[in-house]
């Protein structure tokens, strides 16, 4: 069970609450900026950032169930279902029944999907570069480290 900070255990802070300075708000704005850059710079304008992440997960993990994709991409079930359907419609992935459990579907990268992914990698590197904006090398390392630390503490608490 994770320990949550309650109002009584939170440090006292008498400064006015400014939502624009809160971590969730800033993360959302940074994500919106990254998403806009992705859409402007992607080699394939039809491919969204989360579709790209899904293709990368399939490349990295091989054929996967939707449950495995949910874990690999941090996307909810309803969203991953739609992503997989759109990728399937473009013939970037193929679906087949799980031989061990006919109720499950296995998602696999097609040759077209792998080729698109290979073509996207240079674009993805440029997108990451643009997303980091004016951060210097040390700040880039620090922000990635701190984001991973936030994520890891959440995963270790559960």
pLDDT in tens, 136-151: 999 999 999 999 999 9
pTM of the model: 0.83
Band the pLDDT of 2: cuts 50, 70, 90: very low
Q: Which helix (H) or strand (E) holds 111?
A: helix 111-132
Show the tokens assigned to 113: 């999907």
pLDDT digits (tens, 9 = 90+) for 45-79: 999 999 999 999 999 999 999 999 999 999 999 99
Domains located in the chain, CATH noted: 44-154 (1.10.10.10)
Q: How far apart are CA 111 and CA 44, in angstroms?
A: 16
CA 120 → CA 65, 124, 144, distances in Å? 24, 6, 22
Show the tokens assigned to 87: 């990728």
Q: How far apart are CA 145 and CA 57, in angstroms?
A: 21
pLDDT at 100: 86
């Amino acid at each position: 069970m994770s320990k949550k900070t309650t109002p009584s255990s939170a440090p006292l802070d008498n400064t006015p609450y400014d939502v624009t300075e809160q971590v969730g708000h800033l993360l959302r704005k940074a994500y919106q900026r990254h998403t806009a850059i992705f859409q402007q710079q992607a080699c394939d304008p039809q491919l969204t950032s989360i579709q790209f992440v899904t293709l990368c997960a399939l490349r990295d993990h091989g054929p996967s169930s939707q449950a495995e994709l949910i874990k690999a991409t941090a996307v909810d079930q309803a969203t991953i279902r739609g992503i997989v359907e759109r990728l399937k419609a473009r013939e970037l992935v193929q679906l087949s029944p799980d031989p061990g459990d006919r109720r499950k579907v296995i998602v696999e990268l097609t040759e077209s999907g792998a080729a698109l992914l290979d073509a996207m990698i240079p674009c993805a590197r440029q997108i990451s570069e643009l997303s980091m904006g004016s951060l210097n090398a040390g700040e880039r390392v620090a922000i990635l480290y701190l984001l991973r630390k936030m994520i890891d503490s959440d995963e270790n608490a559960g």
